[in-house]
Amino acid sequence: MSQNDNRQEFLVFTLGPKRAFAITTLKVREIVTLKSLNQIPGSHPCIVGTMPLRGTTLSVVDLAAAIGMPNEECKQIVVCELQGSLYGLLVTGIDTIHYCNSSDVAAMPRALGTSSYSAGVIRREKDLVQVLDLERILAETVNLPTRQSDEFILNPDTLEQIRSQRILICDDSRFARRQLASVLEEHGIDYHSAPHGKAALEKLQEQANIGEPIQILVSDIEMPELDGYQLATTVRGEACLKETYIILHTSLNSDVCRRYTQTSGANEGLCKFDPEALLAAIARGANY
């Protein structure tokens, strides 16, 4: 994604019987040809083994099997980075690099409920490409590392201050939204929720119009409809919203997170998922 507009860049690949799927290139480190894998007894059935990569050992996930599709001959592995760790995604083949605007990526229909492993759909001239929810897929297969929120005890005065705030969480991943919501609910903190940037902006404007503006926004960066970068810059440009404390919360690496935070006008950038860091950032927002 360019920082000067709302362009996004996706790696499009095929799974199973030539069906197209995608993930943002910001999470892709490289693509390697499948060679021999080391088997891991007792691992999740969708983990086909591990492979060495320049001093690192990667768990390799059969992506088709992980989302409930039939297996086909797979020849390539997409090496991705999520929450500071590298993983291998076994795919049938590589299609292309696709460039589009955030508005060209539609959110998944709510009617699908929790059955879908996709966070959005890219509209191409010839077809539709599903953008996969990597956080959910890897959480179910390789157990993404997560710090427990009960390790961090908030000062009672700070907690009461946070509870007085109007907070909006925004993420296109149902899994990531549930993570955020769980931390807040465990501490008795009320919040609003939005599945993508467009819905978040509408909620921000709605709350401002009724005289109860959102004070703290916690938003992902890569989202359909309106991404977090555009959301942050839009919020900063609207007089009734510009005082909102913005926390960008992303699974992208720390350098990318820092760059987007600085250029979008957000107050802070956090890498997923650390409940202590999240609550501490919200506390800073409450004192903003």
**Tell me, what CATH number does 188's domain have?**
3.40.50.2300
Same domain, 257 and 277: yes
pLDDT at res. 152: 61
> Which whole number is the average pLDDT over 192-204?
96
Least confident stretch, 5-14, 29-38, 151-160, 239-248: 151-160
Domain of residue 137, residue span: 7-141
**Which strand (E) or helix (H) includes residue 177?**
helix 174-186
Say if 82 falls within a structural domain: yes
134 lies in the same domain as 202: no
User: Is the domain of 118 the same as that of 185?
Assistant: no
pLDDT of the residue at 114: 63
Q: Is residue 2 part of a domain?
A: no
Shared-domain flag, residues 127 and 235: no
Backbone angles phi, psi at 257, to 5 degrees: -60, -45
Domain boundary among 141, 174, 209: 141
Q: Classify residue 34: in a domain, yes or no.
A: yes
Secondary structure class of 143 (helix, strand, coil) = coil
Residues 154 and 100 placed together within one structural domain of the fold: no
pLDDT over 70 (residue 149): no
CATH of the domain at 99: 2.40.50.180
Number of domains in the chain: 2
Residue 173 shares a structural domain with residue 117: no
Quote the pLDDT of residue 4. 45
Cis preceding linkage at 152, omega within 30 = no
pLDDT tens per residue, range 57-114: 999 999 999 999 887 788 899 999 988 889 999 999 999 999 988 888 988 776 665 6
State whether 282 and 165 are in the same domain: yes
Last residue of a domain, one of 141, 176, 195: 141
Per-residue pLDDT, 239: 95
Residue where a domain terminates, one of 89, 117, 141 = 141
User: For residue range 3-60, what is the model confidence (pLDDT) as tens digits?
Assistant: 445 678 999 999 987 889 999 999 999 999 988 899 888 889 999 999 999 888 999 9
Note the pLDDT of residue 112: 61
As a whole number, the mean pLDDT across the chain is 89
Q: Are residues 123 and 173 in the same domain?
A: no
On whether residue 1 sits in a domain, the answer given is no
What pTM does this model have? 0.85
Residue partners of 225: CB distance under 8 A and separation at least 6:
102, 103, 105, 106, 107, 120, 196, 197, 198, 199
